[in-house]
Amino acid sequence: MHESIGQIVVSALLANNFVLAMFLGLCPFLGVSGKLDTAFPMGVATTFVMLVASLCAYGLNLLLTSFHLEFLRLISYIVIIASAVQLVEMVLKKYSPGLFRALGIYLPLITTNCAVLGVALFQTAREYDFLQSMAFSFGGGAGFTLALVLMASVRERLQLSDVPAVAQGTALSLMLAGILSLGFMGFAGLGG
Amino acid sequence: MTPAQAKNWDEFMEGIWRQNPVFVMVLGMCPTLAVTVSAVNALSMGLATTFVLIASCFLVSVMRNVIPKEVRIATYIVIIATFVTVVDYVIQAVSLALYDALGAFIQLIVVNCIILGRAEAHASRAAPVPAMINATGMGAGFTIGLLALGVVREILGAGTLFGISLFGASFQPWVIMVLPPGGFFVLGAWLLVFAWWERRKPGADVAEVTQHA
C-alpha cells in the first residue's frame, strides 16, 4: 500500500463515497436527511466518532495482532465504538450542551452506523498505517457529511413539489439517492 | 392446524410478508444494496444473516432473565458479534471466492439493525422456541428481499441468473444495474411496486403510505 494521504482523502470523499458508492451508513442517510439543520451536525458528529474509533481501532489492532488474537477483532471493535460514542456524548454534554441537545437521539445511534465500523474494518483490511487510517476516516466522514447535506438540501426542495402519492417516502428517497450516486460515479478513478 | 400451530405459522409469516424487513420496514439497507449484485451473493448474504439472527435470538431468549436491563444492548451486541465471527470464519473456510465478493459486509452483519431490533423487540421477551420461529421468518423475509434485488440486478446488469447466461451473446448488459446507482434504483422500484399494490387493495384509499424514519 503506497497510497498518498491526499489520494486516500479524495478517494474516500468522492470516488468511493461511503454512502453513495460503498453503501455504508444508509440508515442515518435515509433517516436524518429530511432537514438540513439536523443533517449537518449529524455528519460532523459521525465524522468525529469515526476519527476517534479509527484511532482506537488502530491501536487495538496492533495489540491484538501482537498477541495473535485476531478473532477477537470484531467484538473489540464494536465495544470500542460503543465506548467512543459514550465518550463523545459525555464530552459534548459537558462542553457544548447546545449541540448535545440538538443532536439528541441521533448521538447514541451512531454506534450502529455501519460507516463507523466500516472505517475500522476497511483500514485493517487494507493495512493502512497510522496517518493513512486517520486520512481515511476523515475523508470517509467528510464524504458522509457531504452526501447527507446534499440529500437533505434536495429533500427540502422536494417538500414543495407535487409527487405522486405512490412514490412518496422511502421509494422517492431511494430514487434520489440513485441519481446522486450516478453523479458521484463521475468521480470514478479520481484519487486512485 | 391446531391453534398452537396456527400461532407459530403466524409468527413465521410475519417476517416474510407483513413485517418484511427489506420492503416493509426498510431495515438493514447497507448489506441489502451492497451485496446484491448477483443472485448468489444475495442468497449467501441472506443465509448468513439468517443464521446469525436465529442463533442470537435463541441465545438472547435463553438468557433473557439473566441479562441485567441496563447493559442489555451491549450484551446483545457482544452475542451478535460472536456469531458473526463464527459465520465470517466459516465462509472464509468454505468458499474464498464468496468471502472476497462479500468482503467486509459479512462482518458488518453485526450492525445490521434487523438483528438488534429482533433481539430487543422480540427475543428479549419471548420463550426460545417462538423467538427462533420469529427469527427464522424474519431471516427468510430478509433473504427473499435480497434475492428479489439480486435476481433483478443480475438479469439486467449481466444477463445471467445464478451465473447461467439467459439471453445469449448478443445481449448488451445494462451495466449500471450492477453498479451502486442500480442498487438504489432497483430497491426504489420494488418499493414503488409494493406501494402501488397496497393502494390497489379495496378500501386502501385512506391507508397511509408507509413512512420510514
Q: Tell me what the pLDDT averaged over chain A comes to.
A: 84
In this complex, which of B181, B182, B195 lies closest to A171 when CB atoms are compared?
A: B195
A121 touches chain B (CB under 8 A): yes
pLDDT of B209 reads 44
Please count the structural domains in chain A: 1
Residue of A nearest to B190 (CA): A171
Residue of A nearest to B178 (CA): A21
- Grid coordinates representing B11 are 409468527
Dist CA A112 CA A58 (whole Å): 19
pLDDT of B206 reads 44
| Residue A26 within a domain | no
Rounded to a whole number of angstroms, the distance from the CA of A4 to the nearest CA of chain B is 23
Residue of A nearest to B200 (CA): A166
| Residue A105 within a domain | yes
A124 touches chain B (CB under 8 A): no
Check: CB of residue A48 under 8 Å from CB of residue A166.
Answer: no
pLDDT of B203 reads 55
In this complex, which of A24, A166, A177 lies closest to B192 when CB atoms are compared?
A: A166
Residue of B nearest to A173 (CA): B188
Q: Whose CA is closest to A19, among A136, A142, A112?
A: A142
| Residue A71 within a domain | yes
Strand partners, B161: B164
A170/B107 touch (CB, cutoff 8 Å), yes or no = no
| Residue A153 within a domain | yes
Overall pTM > 0.80: yes
H or E stretch at A3 = none
pLDDT digits (tens, 9 = 90+) for A130-141: 888 999 999 999
B212/A30 touch (CB, cutoff 8 Å), yes or no = yes
A26/B30 touch (CB, cutoff 8 Å), yes or no = yes
| Residue A25 within a domain | no
User: Which of chain B's residues have a Cβ under 8 Å away from the Cβ of A108?
Assistant: none
Strand partners, A67: none
A175/B188 touch (CB, cutoff 8 Å), yes or no = yes
A74/B111 touch (CB, cutoff 8 Å), yes or no = no
Rounded to a whole number of angstroms, the distance from the CA of A174 to the nearest CA of chain B is 5
Interface A-B: count of C-beta contacts within 8 A: 122
A165/B209 touch (CB, cutoff 8 Å), yes or no = yes
pLDDT of B208 reads 46
A22 touches chain B (CB under 8 A): yes
Mean pLDDT, each 10-residue run in order, chain B (213 residues) = 78 79 78 85 91 92 86 85 91 89 84 83 86 90 91 87 80 84 90 84 51 41
| Confidence bin at A1 (pLDDT 50/70/90) | low
B156 touches chain A (CB under 8 A): no
Domain of residue A123 covers 36-160
- Predicted ipTM of the assembly: 0.83
pLDDT of B196 reads 85
pLDDT digits (tens, 9 = 90+) for A85-132: 888 788 888 888 877 877 776 777 787 778 888 888 888 888 888 888
Dist CA B132 CA B128 (whole Å): 6
B197 touches chain A (CB under 8 A): no
pLDDT digits (tens, 9 = 90+) for B122-163: 888 888 888 898 899 999 999 999 999 999 998 888 888 888
- Grid coordinates representing A89 are 456524548
User: Which of chain B's residues have a Cβ under 8 Å away from the Cβ of A15?
Assistant: none
CA dist B87 → A112, B47, B66, B68, B188 (Å): 19, 10, 26, 27, 30
A160 or B212, which is more confident: A160
Query: In percent, how much of chain A has pLDDT > 70?
Result: 95
A71/B176 touch (CB, cutoff 8 Å), yes or no = no
User: Which of chain A's residues have a Cβ under 8 Å away from the Cβ of B182?
Assistant: 178
| Residue A187 within a domain | no
A181/B195 touch (CB, cutoff 8 Å), yes or no = no
A117/B108 touch (CB, cutoff 8 Å), yes or no = yes
In this complex, which of A27, A117, A167 lies closest to B192 when CB atoms are compared?
A: A167
A36 touches chain B (CB under 8 A): no
**Which amino acid is residue B113, in one-letter code?**
C
| Residue A11 within a domain | no
H or E stretch at A102 = helix A97-103
